[in-house]
Amino acid sequence: MDDWLIYRGVGAPDPDRLDRLPPPPPWRAFSGEPLPDPAPPIDSSSTRRLGARVGAPPAQDAEALDLINAALYLRRPLLVTGEPGAGKSTLAHSIAYELGLGRVLQWPVVSRTELRDGLYTYDAIGRLQDAQLAEREHRTPDDIGRYIKLGPLGTALLPTRRPRVLLIDELDKSDIDLPNDLLNVVEEGEFALPELERAADRPGQDEVRVLTDDGRRVPVRGGRVRCHAFPYVVMTSNGERDFPAPLLRRCIQLHLDPPRDERLAAMVQAHFGAGSDERNLDLIGRFTSEDGDGELRPTDQLLNAIYLTQHTVRTEPGRREEIAELLIRPLDTRQR
Protein backbone atom coordinates (compact mmCIF):
# COMPACT_ATOMS: atom_id res chain seq x y z
CA MET A 1 0.00 0.00 0.00
CA ASP A 2 1.31 3.48 -0.92
CA ASP A 3 3.11 5.10 1.99
CA TRP A 4 1.66 8.53 1.20
CA LEU A 5 -1.80 7.44 2.34
CA ILE A 6 -2.91 8.91 5.65
CA TYR A 7 -6.30 7.17 5.60
CA ARG A 8 -5.89 3.58 4.40
CA GLY A 9 -9.38 2.15 4.95
CA VAL A 10 -8.10 -0.83 6.94
CA GLY A 11 -10.88 -0.81 9.52
CA ALA A 12 -8.52 -0.38 12.48
CA PRO A 13 -7.66 2.73 14.52
CA ASP A 14 -4.37 4.30 13.47
CA PRO A 15 -4.50 7.91 14.75
CA ASP A 16 -0.71 8.35 14.67
CA ARG A 17 -0.81 8.48 10.86
CA LEU A 18 -2.51 11.87 11.05
CA ASP A 19 0.69 13.29 12.53
CA ARG A 20 2.35 12.61 9.16
CA LEU A 21 -0.03 14.96 7.36
CA PRO A 22 2.00 17.90 5.99
CA PRO A 23 0.91 21.54 6.41
CA PRO A 24 -1.93 22.65 4.13
CA PRO A 25 -1.39 24.49 0.86
CA PRO A 26 -0.94 28.23 1.50
CA TRP A 27 -4.39 28.97 0.05
CA ARG A 28 -5.99 26.51 2.50
CA ALA A 29 -4.21 27.65 5.67
CA PHE A 30 -6.46 29.26 8.27
CA SER A 31 -5.61 31.53 11.18
CA GLY A 32 -8.04 30.66 13.98
CA GLU A 33 -6.36 30.70 17.40
CA PRO A 34 -6.30 27.03 18.45
CA LEU A 35 -8.57 25.81 21.22
CA PRO A 36 -7.79 22.66 23.21
CA ASP A 37 -8.86 19.66 21.17
CA PRO A 38 -11.75 17.68 22.62
CA ALA A 39 -10.84 14.24 23.90
CA PRO A 40 -11.66 11.88 21.00
CA PRO A 41 -13.51 8.97 22.59
CA ILE A 42 -14.34 6.00 20.40
CA ASP A 43 -17.55 6.91 18.67
CA SER A 44 -20.13 4.20 19.30
CA SER A 45 -22.15 5.26 16.25
CA SER A 46 -19.08 4.75 14.04
CA THR A 47 -18.25 1.32 15.45
CA ARG A 48 -21.90 0.33 15.12
CA ARG A 49 -21.91 1.32 11.45
CA LEU A 50 -18.50 -0.10 10.63
CA GLY A 51 -18.42 -3.24 12.74
CA ALA A 52 -14.74 -2.34 12.85
CA ARG A 53 -12.62 -5.47 13.28
CA VAL A 54 -8.85 -5.40 13.12
CA GLY A 55 -7.48 -7.32 10.18
CA ALA A 56 -10.22 -6.68 7.64
CA PRO A 57 -8.93 -5.89 4.13
CA PRO A 58 -9.14 -2.30 2.83
CA ALA A 59 -12.73 -1.18 2.33
CA GLN A 60 -11.99 1.08 -0.67
CA ASP A 61 -10.28 0.54 -4.00
CA ALA A 62 -7.05 2.31 -4.92
CA GLU A 63 -8.67 5.17 -6.85
CA ALA A 64 -11.13 5.92 -4.04
CA LEU A 65 -8.31 5.91 -1.48
CA ASP A 66 -6.34 8.37 -3.62
CA LEU A 67 -9.28 10.78 -3.82
CA ILE A 68 -10.13 10.47 -0.11
CA ASN A 69 -6.54 11.27 0.80
CA ALA A 70 -6.30 14.08 -1.75
CA ALA A 71 -9.18 15.80 0.04
CA LEU A 72 -7.32 15.32 3.33
CA TYR A 73 -4.05 16.75 2.01
CA LEU A 74 -5.71 19.67 0.21
CA ARG A 75 -8.19 20.48 3.01
CA ARG A 76 -11.07 20.33 0.57
CA PRO A 77 -14.57 18.86 1.02
CA LEU A 78 -15.16 15.41 -0.44
CA LEU A 79 -18.35 15.20 -2.50
CA VAL A 80 -19.42 11.54 -2.61
CA THR A 81 -22.07 10.33 -5.03
CA GLY A 82 -23.55 6.89 -5.51
CA GLU A 83 -26.64 4.76 -5.12
CA PRO A 84 -28.30 4.28 -1.72
CA GLY A 85 -26.36 1.62 0.16
CA ALA A 86 -23.04 2.31 -1.59
CA GLY A 87 -21.39 3.35 1.69
CA LYS A 88 -21.32 7.14 1.23
CA SER A 89 -22.17 8.24 4.75
CA THR A 90 -20.34 5.27 6.28
CA LEU A 91 -17.15 6.62 4.71
CA ALA A 92 -17.17 9.61 7.07
CA HIS A 93 -17.38 7.27 10.06
CA SER A 94 -14.57 5.12 8.69
CA ILE A 95 -12.26 8.16 8.39
CA ALA A 96 -13.08 9.40 11.89
CA TYR A 97 -12.62 5.93 13.40
CA GLU A 98 -9.33 5.12 11.70
CA LEU A 99 -7.72 8.54 12.34
CA GLY A 100 -9.03 8.92 15.91
CA LEU A 101 -11.00 12.09 15.22
CA GLY A 102 -13.88 11.43 17.62
CA ARG A 103 -17.60 11.62 16.97
CA VAL A 104 -18.71 12.42 13.43
CA LEU A 105 -20.62 15.70 13.35
CA GLN A 106 -23.73 14.87 11.32
CA TRP A 107 -25.86 17.38 9.42
CA PRO A 108 -28.75 15.63 7.66
CA VAL A 109 -30.16 17.84 4.91
CA VAL A 110 -33.84 18.11 3.97
CA SER A 111 -35.72 20.41 1.60
CA ARG A 112 -36.20 23.07 4.31
CA THR A 113 -32.57 23.12 5.50
CA GLU A 114 -30.84 26.51 5.51
CA LEU A 115 -27.18 27.37 6.02
CA ARG A 116 -27.83 28.85 9.43
CA ASP A 117 -29.27 25.51 10.63
CA GLY A 118 -25.80 24.05 10.25
CA LEU A 119 -23.96 27.05 11.73
CA TYR A 120 -25.83 27.93 14.92
CA THR A 121 -29.20 28.57 16.57
CA TYR A 122 -30.14 31.52 18.77
CA ASP A 123 -33.03 31.23 21.22
CA ALA A 124 -34.17 34.86 21.19
CA ILE A 125 -37.56 34.11 22.75
CA GLY A 126 -35.99 32.15 25.60
CA ARG A 127 -33.55 34.97 26.26
CA LEU A 128 -36.36 37.55 26.34
CA GLN A 129 -38.43 35.46 28.74
CA ASP A 130 -35.44 34.90 31.05
CA ALA A 131 -34.56 38.61 30.96
CA GLN A 132 -38.10 39.53 32.03
CA LEU A 133 -37.94 36.97 34.84
CA ALA A 134 -34.54 38.29 35.97
CA GLU A 135 -35.92 41.84 36.06
CA ARG A 136 -38.81 40.78 38.30
CA GLU A 137 -36.41 38.93 40.58
CA HIS A 138 -33.91 41.85 40.63
CA ARG A 139 -30.97 39.82 39.41
CA THR A 140 -28.51 40.01 36.52
CA PRO A 141 -29.76 38.35 33.30
CA ASP A 142 -27.95 35.27 32.07
CA ASP A 143 -25.10 35.65 29.60
CA ILE A 144 -26.11 35.63 25.92
CA GLY A 145 -23.95 32.56 25.30
CA ARG A 146 -26.48 30.44 27.16
CA TYR A 147 -28.94 30.97 24.30
CA ILE A 148 -26.59 30.12 21.42
CA LYS A 149 -25.76 26.62 20.24
CA LEU A 150 -23.39 25.86 17.39
CA GLY A 151 -24.70 23.44 14.79
CA PRO A 152 -22.67 20.59 13.27
CA LEU A 153 -21.06 22.85 10.64
CA GLY A 154 -20.38 25.59 13.19
CA THR A 155 -18.83 23.08 15.60
CA ALA A 156 -16.66 21.60 12.84
CA LEU A 157 -15.25 25.07 12.11
CA LEU A 158 -14.06 25.67 15.67
CA PRO A 159 -10.27 26.24 15.73
CA THR A 160 -9.09 22.84 16.93
CA ARG A 161 -5.58 21.61 16.07
CA ARG A 162 -6.86 18.32 14.66
CA PRO A 163 -9.69 18.42 12.12
CA ARG A 164 -13.17 17.25 13.01
CA VAL A 165 -15.11 15.06 10.58
CA LEU A 166 -18.36 16.58 9.33
CA LEU A 167 -20.96 14.60 7.38
CA ILE A 168 -23.35 16.74 5.29
CA ASP A 169 -25.74 13.98 4.35
CA GLU A 170 -27.91 14.01 1.19
CA LEU A 171 -27.06 17.54 0.07
CA ASP A 172 -29.04 16.92 -3.12
CA LYS A 173 -32.26 17.03 -1.08
CA SER A 174 -31.73 20.72 -0.23
CA ASP A 175 -33.46 23.64 -1.91
CA ILE A 176 -31.67 25.47 -4.69
CA ASP A 177 -29.96 28.01 -2.40
CA LEU A 178 -28.07 25.87 0.11
CA PRO A 179 -25.22 24.65 -2.16
CA ASN A 180 -24.52 28.27 -3.16
CA ASP A 181 -24.80 29.47 0.44
CA LEU A 182 -22.13 26.95 1.46
CA LEU A 183 -19.57 28.44 -0.93
CA ASN A 184 -18.24 31.25 1.26
CA VAL A 185 -18.04 29.14 4.41
CA VAL A 186 -16.24 26.33 2.57
CA GLU A 187 -13.79 28.78 1.00
CA GLU A 188 -13.12 31.06 3.98
CA GLY A 189 -13.40 28.57 6.86
CA GLU A 190 -15.20 31.06 9.11
CA PHE A 191 -18.55 32.64 9.85
CA ALA A 192 -20.01 35.42 11.99
CA LEU A 193 -22.61 35.32 14.75
CA PRO A 194 -24.24 38.77 14.46
CA GLU A 195 -25.78 38.52 17.94
CA LEU A 196 -22.28 38.20 19.42
CA GLU A 197 -20.65 40.70 17.06
CA ARG A 198 -23.06 43.39 18.26
CA ALA A 199 -22.17 42.66 21.86
CA ALA A 200 -18.40 42.34 21.33
CA ASP A 201 -17.67 46.04 22.07
CA ARG A 202 -19.34 45.92 25.48
CA PRO A 203 -17.12 45.39 28.53
CA GLY A 204 -16.62 41.69 29.24
CA GLN A 205 -18.48 40.59 26.10
CA ASP A 206 -15.56 40.12 23.68
CA GLU A 207 -15.40 36.43 24.64
CA VAL A 208 -18.61 34.46 25.12
CA ARG A 209 -18.91 30.76 25.86
CA VAL A 210 -21.45 28.91 23.73
CA LEU A 211 -22.69 25.31 23.52
CA THR A 212 -21.42 23.05 20.74
CA ASP A 213 -23.21 20.34 18.79
CA ASP A 214 -21.43 17.70 20.89
CA GLY A 215 -22.31 19.24 24.26
CA ARG A 216 -19.18 21.21 25.18
CA ARG A 217 -18.92 24.89 26.08
CA VAL A 218 -16.27 26.80 24.14
CA PRO A 219 -15.28 30.47 23.85
CA VAL A 220 -16.15 32.53 20.79
CA ARG A 221 -14.11 35.72 20.48
CA GLY A 222 -15.28 38.86 18.72
CA GLY A 223 -18.46 37.21 17.49
CA ARG A 224 -16.68 35.09 14.84
CA VAL A 225 -15.71 31.43 14.51
CA ARG A 226 -12.57 30.88 12.42
CA CYS A 227 -11.10 27.42 11.93
CA HIS A 228 -7.48 26.45 12.52
CA ALA A 229 -7.46 22.99 10.89
CA PHE A 230 -10.11 22.82 8.18
CA PRO A 231 -12.54 20.01 9.00
CA TYR A 232 -12.74 16.85 6.90
CA VAL A 233 -16.10 17.45 5.22
CA VAL A 234 -17.91 14.59 3.50
CA MET A 235 -20.92 15.69 1.45
CA THR A 236 -23.12 12.91 0.11
CA SER A 237 -25.52 12.92 -2.82
CA ASN A 238 -27.80 10.29 -4.32
CA GLY A 239 -27.61 12.08 -7.67
CA GLU A 240 -31.10 13.58 -7.53
CA ARG A 241 -29.87 17.00 -8.73
CA ASP A 242 -26.85 18.78 -10.18
CA PHE A 243 -24.72 21.17 -8.16
CA PRO A 244 -23.39 24.58 -9.23
CA ALA A 245 -19.94 24.63 -10.80
CA PRO A 246 -18.49 26.99 -8.13
CA LEU A 247 -19.26 24.38 -5.45
CA LEU A 248 -17.94 21.50 -7.55
CA ARG A 249 -14.60 23.20 -8.17
CA ARG A 250 -14.12 23.59 -4.41
CA CYS A 251 -14.64 19.87 -3.80
CA ILE A 252 -12.86 16.61 -4.52
CA GLN A 253 -15.43 14.40 -6.27
CA LEU A 254 -15.72 10.67 -5.61
CA HIS A 255 -18.28 8.26 -7.04
CA LEU A 256 -18.86 5.05 -5.09
CA ASP A 257 -20.26 2.04 -6.89
CA PRO A 258 -22.11 -0.52 -4.78
CA PRO A 259 -19.54 -2.65 -2.91
CA ARG A 260 -18.61 -5.82 -4.73
CA ASP A 261 -15.71 -8.32 -4.68
CA GLU A 262 -12.98 -7.16 -2.23
CA ARG A 263 -15.05 -4.27 -0.83
CA LEU A 264 -18.01 -6.52 -0.16
CA ALA A 265 -15.76 -9.15 1.43
CA ALA A 266 -14.19 -6.45 3.62
CA MET A 267 -17.61 -5.29 4.76
CA VAL A 268 -18.73 -8.81 5.68
CA GLN A 269 -15.46 -9.51 7.54
CA ALA A 270 -15.68 -6.22 9.41
CA HIS A 271 -19.07 -7.17 10.82
CA PHE A 272 -18.74 -10.95 11.22
CA GLY A 273 -15.01 -11.64 11.57
CA ALA A 274 -12.21 -13.14 9.52
CA GLY A 275 -13.33 -15.84 7.10
CA SER A 276 -17.00 -14.91 7.31
CA ASP A 277 -17.04 -14.01 3.62
CA GLU A 278 -15.90 -17.54 2.75
CA ARG A 279 -18.49 -19.08 5.07
CA ASN A 280 -21.27 -17.11 3.39
CA LEU A 281 -20.29 -17.43 -0.26
CA ASP A 282 -23.75 -18.74 -1.10
CA LEU A 283 -25.49 -15.64 0.24
CA ILE A 284 -22.92 -13.29 -1.27
CA GLY A 285 -23.34 -15.06 -4.60
CA ARG A 286 -27.12 -14.71 -4.39
CA PHE A 287 -26.74 -11.02 -3.52
CA THR A 288 -24.48 -10.27 -6.50
CA SER A 289 -25.89 -12.72 -9.05
CA GLU A 290 -28.32 -10.28 -10.64
CA ASP A 291 -26.03 -7.27 -11.00
CA GLY A 292 -26.77 -5.26 -14.08
CA ASP A 293 -30.55 -5.62 -14.00
CA GLY A 294 -30.95 -2.00 -12.84
CA GLU A 295 -32.47 -2.92 -9.47
CA LEU A 296 -31.18 -1.48 -6.19
CA ARG A 297 -29.82 -3.97 -3.66
CA PRO A 298 -28.39 -2.15 -0.62
CA THR A 299 -25.71 -4.05 1.28
CA ASP A 300 -27.81 -3.82 4.44
CA GLN A 301 -29.88 -6.64 2.97
CA LEU A 302 -26.88 -8.95 2.74
CA LEU A 303 -25.76 -8.15 6.30
CA ASN A 304 -29.30 -8.77 7.57
CA ALA A 305 -29.48 -12.12 5.77
CA ILE A 306 -26.10 -13.28 7.09
CA TYR A 307 -26.92 -12.25 10.65
CA LEU A 308 -30.37 -13.83 10.64
CA THR A 309 -29.31 -17.15 9.11
CA GLN A 310 -25.91 -17.45 10.82
CA HIS A 311 -26.51 -16.14 14.33
CA THR A 312 -30.22 -16.22 15.09
CA VAL A 313 -32.37 -18.74 13.23
CA ARG A 314 -31.61 -22.49 13.47
CA THR A 315 -33.17 -24.17 10.47
CA GLU A 316 -32.72 -27.02 8.06
CA PRO A 317 -30.17 -26.25 5.31
CA GLY A 318 -32.79 -25.56 2.63
CA ARG A 319 -34.66 -23.10 4.86
CA ARG A 320 -31.54 -20.91 5.14
CA GLU A 321 -31.74 -20.09 1.44
CA GLU A 322 -35.49 -19.50 1.62
CA ILE A 323 -35.15 -17.04 4.50
CA ALA A 324 -32.26 -15.24 2.78
CA GLU A 325 -34.33 -14.95 -0.39
CA LEU A 326 -37.00 -13.04 1.53
CA LEU A 327 -34.42 -10.44 2.61
CA ILE A 328 -32.22 -10.12 -0.49
CA ARG A 329 -34.63 -8.45 -2.86
CA PRO A 330 -34.46 -5.34 -5.03
CA LEU A 331 -35.87 -2.23 -3.40
CA ASP A 332 -39.47 -1.62 -4.40
CA THR A 333 -39.60 2.18 -4.76
CA ARG A 334 -42.95 2.27 -6.55
CA GLN A 335 -45.86 4.09 -4.95
CA ARG A 336 -48.74 1.77 -4.13
Tens of pLDDT, residue by residue over 172-209, are 999 889 999 999 999 999 999 998 888 777 766 788 99
Confidence class for position 335, pLDDT limits 50, 70, 90: very low
What's the pLDDT at 267? 82
Please, are residues 97 and 46 in contact by the beta-carbon 8 Å criterion?
yes
Q: Residues 6 or more apart from 180 whose CB is under 8 A from it?
A: 244, 246, 247
* pTM, to two decimals: 0.86
Give the sheet arrangement for strand 224-226, strand by strand.
120-122, 148-150, 207-211, 217-221, 224-226, 190-192
Which of 194-198, 216-220, 282-286 bottoms out in mean pLDDT, i.e. has the lowest? 282-286
Kindly state the DSSP code that residue 28 receives in the 8-state scheme: G
Confidence class for position 330, pLDDT limits 50, 70, 90: low
CA-to-CA separations, 127 to 84, 143, 202, in angstroms, rounded: 42, 9, 18
> What are the φ and ψ backbone dihedral angles of 260, each rounded to 5 degrees?
-140, 165
Q: Which residues pair with 80 in a beta bridge?
A: 236, 254
Q: Name the residue with higher pLDDT: 26 or 13.
A: 26
Report how far residue 284's alpha carbon sits from residue 306's, in angstroms, rounded to the nearest whole number.
9
Q: Is the pLDDT of residue 75 over 80?
A: yes
Report how far residue 88's alpha carbon sits from residue 142's, in angstroms, rounded to the nearest whole number.
42
What's the pLDDT at 148? 93
Residue-by-residue DSSP string for 120-145: EEE-HHHHHHHHHHHHHTT-PPPPGG
pLDDT tens-digit series, residues 225-265? 999 999 999 999 988 888 999 999 999 999 988 877 777 88
